Amino acid sequence: MMILEHEAKALLRTVGVAVPDGTLIKPGLRAPKVREYPVAVKAQVRSGGRGKQGGVIRANNARELHAAAKKLFATEFNGEKPTVLLADPWLAIERELYLSVTVDSAAGGYVVLYAPRGGVNIEDGPPPVRYAIGPAWKFRAHELRAHLEPVETDYRIRERVISLAQRLVETAAARDCHTIEINPLAKLADADNPELLALDGKVVYDEWAHYRNADIEAQRQGELKRAHKLLRASMEMGHMYVKLDGDIGLISGGAGMTMGAMDMIHGYGGKPGCFLDVSPGPASPRGYKPAFALLDGDPDVKVILVSVFGGGTQMNRVARALKETMATRKSKKPVVFRLDGTYVAEVPAIFETFGAHNHATLETAAREAVKLAKRTK
């Protein structure tokens, strides 16, 4: 769950990370109280690549600020229109760096990533240095220093980066953050100001920690209010949904099974249209009805693949829930089923009552879904 830049900077400020003194701009505000010009007017959206899409505009005076705000409020960035803007002072920068902390299963916890060159084109440079930590308490300054010495020759920056990285790791663990990214982390061209400044911030919360974290729960409730009613129904069921750019809508049980099905679709030449994990309540029609309604209403989805594997979950109950769901469904989009696990032997008889077929393997189901999607083009 990604929060807006100005929210991320507020979090960074509370843990002692230096950020610019910016001004929030809301629609209808005729004369924002900006302390001095020029400023960088930035769209506050939850998608990446904003800078390359014209989401950051320099304004040298109040007139240019008004024009920039009008333009940004009217622009969509990856399907999202900003509801607030951030005007940060336009600063003279000597160097742009990259620093982030994120969860990585291969590390068994957190990793620190650092690059001596940051900014919008960071992907064009060498890959960031990677320091695998694991649990937050295993952070060691001397270990990160050994990783930084080959790429960062300025020892003053190196030591400040180590201090910041430790602070970010502690914050990520304490605040249930999946990712905290600062790009760019800037060294200003002001010789009297030695500190590093977070010119942009990205924070991704662990959504599943909402039950114990009031900040995450507040963000979750905000997302529910903003979401389309169909997506809201899925979110209220606890489904994990990520929109993708393909045409095969995937309804699956469990993140691992969903990722496996996505890989299988790719392997047969198709493209998933979403990641939709319905593992909460997998044997109830209440779980499947909003999922089908969401994908049936998506014009990009041409075929729906349902892939559920269960040990504790009984497949005969899943089959009956799907039968009830399909009886109320009005869309004619084809649906491919693959159910496997406990009591799967009872599934064919249940499916036969509403004209469905249960594939024996995920391979044959994915192949069939890709074949059907290609026919619709």
**Residue 306: what residue type?**
V
Residue, of 193 and 99, whose pLDDT is higher: 99
- The confidence score (pLDDT) of residue 48 equals 78
Mean pLDDT of 112-120: 93
pLDDT tens, residue by residue, 179-213: 999 999 999 987 677 789 999 999 999 988 988 99
- The confidence score (pLDDT) of residue 126 equals 85
pLDDT surpasses 70 at 377: no
Reduce the DSSP state of residue 56 to 3 states and report it.
strand
When mean pLDDT is compared across 113-122, 266-275, 306-315, the lowest value belongs to: 306-315
Mean pLDDT of 358-377: 93
pLDDT tens, residue by residue, 134-173: 999 999 999 999 999 999 999 999 999 999 999 999 999 9
d(CA 262, CA 275): 8
Question: H or E segment at 349?
Answer: helix 347-352
- The confidence score (pLDDT) of residue 376 equals 78
> What values do phi and psi take at 177, rounded to 5?
-100, 130
pLDDT surpasses 60 at 283: no
Residue, of 362 and 48, whose pLDDT is higher: 362
The answer to whether the CB of 173 falls within 8 A of the CB of 136 is yes
d(CA 329, CA 166): 52
pLDDT tens, residue by residue, 15-68: 999 999 999 999 986 667 888 999 999 999 988 788 888 999 999 999 999 999
Tell me the β-bridge partners of 101.
112, 180
Q: Is 240 exposed, middle or buried (0-12, 13-18, 19+ CB in 10 A)?
A: middle
Half-sphere exposure of residue 223: CA atoms within 13 angstroms, side-chain side: 24
**Residue 108: what residue type?**
G
Structural domain boundaries in the chain? 21-89, 93-212, 228-375
pLDDT surpasses 70 at 231: no
Q: What is the band of 234 on the pLDDT scale with cuts at 50, 70, 90? A: low
Residue 366 is encoded by which pair of tokens? Answer: 């994915």
d(CA 108, CA 161): 23
Residue, of 174 and 80, whose pLDDT is higher: 174
Tell how strand 303-310 and strand 335-341 pair up: parallel
The answer to whether the CB of 326 falls within 8 A of the CB of 335 is yes
CA 254 and chain centroid, separation: 18
Residue 280 is encoded by which pair of tokens? Answer: 């909460």
93-212 and 228-375 share one fold: no
- The confidence score (pLDDT) of residue 237 equals 61
The answer to whether the CB of 116 falls within 8 A of the CB of 128 is no
Residue among 194, 183, 201 at smallest CA distance from 160: 194
Residues 6+ apart with CB under 8 A from 193: none
pLDDT surpasses 60 at 85: yes
Residue among 359, 2, 364 at smallest CA distance from 179: 2
pLDDT tens, residue by residue, 289-348: 888 988 998 899 999 999 998 877 889 999 999 999 999 999 999 999 999 999 999 999
In angstroms and rounded to an integer, the radius of gyration of the C-alpha atoms of the chain is 24
- The confidence score (pLDDT) of residue 191 equals 67
- Output the CATH code of domain 93-212: 3.30.470.20
**Residue 267: what residue type?**
G
- Output the CATH code of domain 228-375: 3.40.50.261
- The confidence score (pLDDT) of residue 251 equals 92
d(CA 278, CA 238): 8
- The confidence score (pLDDT) of residue 102 equals 97
The answer to whether the CB of 22 falls within 8 A of the CB of 91 is no
d(CA 115, CA 135): 22
pLDDT surpasses 70 at 285: no
- The confidence score (pLDDT) of residue 63 equals 92
The answer to whether the CB of 304 falls within 8 A of the CB of 356 is no
- The confidence score (pLDDT) of residue 232 equals 62
- Output the CATH code of domain 21-89: 3.30.1490.20
- The confidence score (pLDDT) of residue 30 equals 67
CA 149, 154, 158: angle at the middle one, nearest 5?
60
pLDDT surpasses 70 at 282: no
